[in-house]
Amino acid sequence: MENIKQRSLKQVEKNRGELTKILRELIARPSISGEEKEAQLYYAGLLEDLGCQVDVWEPKPEDMLINPNFLANRDQYSDSPDVVGVLKGSGGGQSLLLNGHMDVVPPGAIDWLQSPWSGHVEGNRLYGRGAADMKAGLAANYIAVKSLLDLGVRLKGDVLLESVVCEKTGGAGTLSAIHRGYRADGAVVPEPTGMQVCPVSMGVIWFKITVTGKAAHAATTHLGVNAITKAGLLIAAVDQMNRQMVAEKKHPLYGYHPTPFSVNLGVVTGGAIPTSVPDKVVLEGRMSFSPDETVADAKKLLEAVVHETAAADEWMREHPPEVEWFGFFLDSGSVDLSHPFVKTLCHNYETALGRAPQVVGSPFGTDAGSLIRYGHIPTVIFGPGPSSTPHKANEYVDLDSVVQTAQVLACTLLDWCGVEE
């Protein structure tokens, strides 16, 4: 086995050129959430060439009902097909699911030095929207499997290469794939963790608080109730809640992170003209929560803060602000550090890279929460770096780390799925 692992590491290194080419092809197909089709069909083609049994389908809103807290934001997915390629094993091995999302965030308001879809390479860096988050992961998944096939390896367990849509908008694609029946004995989500291994991921959910006042001309403020003033009370309360969360909510795998579980007010809008007393303010925000909590716990916490703040104010007591959960929810998830799949991945990390991985909680929400909670699949998030460039202008990925990710995955496949001699 050690021999075949060493040959696999070399084969992945040999395939560096192809990995780079595929990553550039993926980046050249802009796949902002909701517009993933072209990139997905390209990936499906790759999987066919690999000899996979390929399934391409349009998710349906009812697929996501397996997550009872899913926050729907689309009616149809005709431009967002999911793709799964299954490479049947010879039998008797454990299956492994390699998941990745094809959707990317928009390029943003800041100009890039080169086109976000260029995929240009400078030294060890490959630039483009989605380079790190997470087309590199999808390319690494593919190259890991291809390298084994290049060597004539036949695995005992099934390998599932899954490319999903709409992770950035709450994970509809992964939920649809789970609903369609794609399960495995272990899964890796190669998000850009900067080569850290994350068997635990936080939950993330968005909320909207609508504060109601009473409109009046500003010349007669006594006839109105200023919704901005009322929103100010809630802003202070949410700030206090955030301080308390940061001070009190701890998790052993999040010791490295100063503020893993927090609440952030991201958007405020209210009123139309200085000369009117505004009757409505909307606050939008994001809350992250620990895998030790349920999303219901997390929701209750914010709802209680809003309720208590309203109860202390004469107007809001009678006109309570409304809390809605909207747009985005990725559940938390957690796999025990002693789980054989976590151990196998960590062992092969050391085999491939010659050092033990850092094992921590994921710094962001991912599809791993759904795979764990709704697919019941032990899932680890682990991928290339750096983890600091996603969502920004001039996003890039470190190519060495992409090759290393593929090497770790190749060795893990050999161990976990088993090799037909």
Figure out which of the listed residues 152, 273, 354, 355 binds a copy of itself, where binding follows CB under 8 A. Answer: 273
Figure out which of the listed residues 113, 236, 311, 312 binds a copy of itself, where binding follows CB under 8 A. Answer: 236
Length of the chain equals: 421
Query: Which residue lies nearer to a copy of itself by CB, 147 or 196?
Result: 196
Which of 63, 103, 279, 331 is flagged as catalytic?
A: 103
The CB-of-222 to a copy of itself minimum distance in angstroms stands at: 4
Structure tokens at 191: 């998000």
Which of 82, 133, 158, 167 is flagged as catalytic?
A: 167
Residues in region 78-97 near a copy of itself by CB under 8 A? none
Q: Binding to a copy of itself by residue 309, rule CB under 8 A? A: no
Residue 386, preceding peptide bond in cis (omega within 30° of 0): yes
Q: Can you tell me the distance from the alpha carbon of 79 to that of 337, in angstroms, rounded to the nearest whole number?
A: 38
Q: Binding to a copy of itself by residue 222, rule CB under 8 A? A: yes
Task: Name which of 237, 238, 231, 240 is nearest 315 in CA terms.
Answer: 231
DSSP class of 99: E
* Element housing 111 (H / E): none
Query: Which residue lies nearer to a copy of itself by CB, 6 or 240?
Result: 240
Exposure letters 147-157 (e unless 16+ CB within 10 A, then b): bbebeebebbb
Q: Measure Cα distances from 267 to 103, 110, 200, 206, 209 in Å.
A: 23, 19, 29, 11, 10
> What is the x/- site pattern for a copy of itself, positions 162-201, by CB under 8 A?
----------------------------------------
Q: Can you tell me the distance from the alpha carbon of 141 to that of 12, in angstroms, rounded to the nearest whole number?
A: 11
Torsion of CA 238, 367, 106, 295, to 10 degrees: -20
Task: Name which of 361, 343, 346 is nearest 251 in CA terms.
Answer: 361
The CB-of-324 to a copy of itself minimum distance in angstroms stands at: 12
Residue 2 known to be catalytic: no
Q: Binding to a copy of itself by residue 337, rule CB under 8 A? A: no
Q: Binding to a copy of itself by residue 332, rule CB under 8 A? A: no
Figure out which of the listed residues 43, 127, 142, 207 binds a copy of itself, where binding follows CB under 8 A. Answer: 207
Figure out which of the listed residues 229, 303, 320, 386 binds a copy of itself, where binding follows CB under 8 A. Answer: 229
Residues in region 346-365 near a copy of itself by CB under 8 A? 363-364
Place of tokens 């957690």: 334
Q: Binding to a copy of itself by residue 276, rule CB under 8 A? A: yes
The CB-of-235 to a copy of itself minimum distance in angstroms stands at: 3
Amino acid identity at 385: G
Q: Binding to a copy of itself by residue 110, rule CB under 8 A? A: no
The CB-of-390 to a copy of itself minimum distance in angstroms stands at: 9
Residue 167 known to be catalytic: yes
* Element housing 281 (H / E): strand 280-289
Stretch that binds a copy of itself, among 181-189, 214-222, 335-343, 349-357 (CB under 8 A): 214-222
- Evaluated on CA atoms 375, 170, 158, 193, the torsion sign reads negative
List phi, psi (to 5°) of 223: -85, -10
Interface with a copy of itself: number of residues (CB under 8 A)? 50
Figure out which of the listed residues 96, 235, 305, 377 binds a copy of itself, where binding follows CB under 8 A. Answer: 235
Stretch that binds a copy of itself, among 87-95, 138-146, 233-241, 295-303 (CB under 8 A): 233-241
Q: Binding to a copy of itself by residue 277, rule CB under 8 A? A: yes
Place of tokens 């490295």: 256
Torsion of CA 225, 226, 227, 230, to 10 degrees: -90
Q: Binding to a copy of itself by residue 327, rule CB under 8 A? A: yes
Q: Can you tell me the distance from the alpha carbon of 47 to that of 196, in angstroms, rounded to the nearest whole number?
A: 27
Residues in region 22-51 near a copy of itself by CB under 8 A? none
Place of tokens 């084969």: 11
Figure out which of the listed residues 6, 76, 124, 259 binds a copy of itself, where binding follows CB under 8 A. Answer: 259
Figure out which of the listed residues 36, 82, 103, 284 binds a copy of itself, where binding follows CB under 8 A. Answer: 284
Structure tokens at 307: 């309720």
Answer for the pair 180, 66: CB distance below 8 angstroms, yes or no. Answer: no
Positions annotated as catalytic residues are 103, 167
- Residues forming contacts to a copy of itself in the complex (CB under 8 A) are 204, 206-207, 217-222, 226, 228-229, 231-233, 235-236, 239, 242, 246, 257-259, 262, 264-278, 281, 283-286, 288, 327-328, 363-364, 391
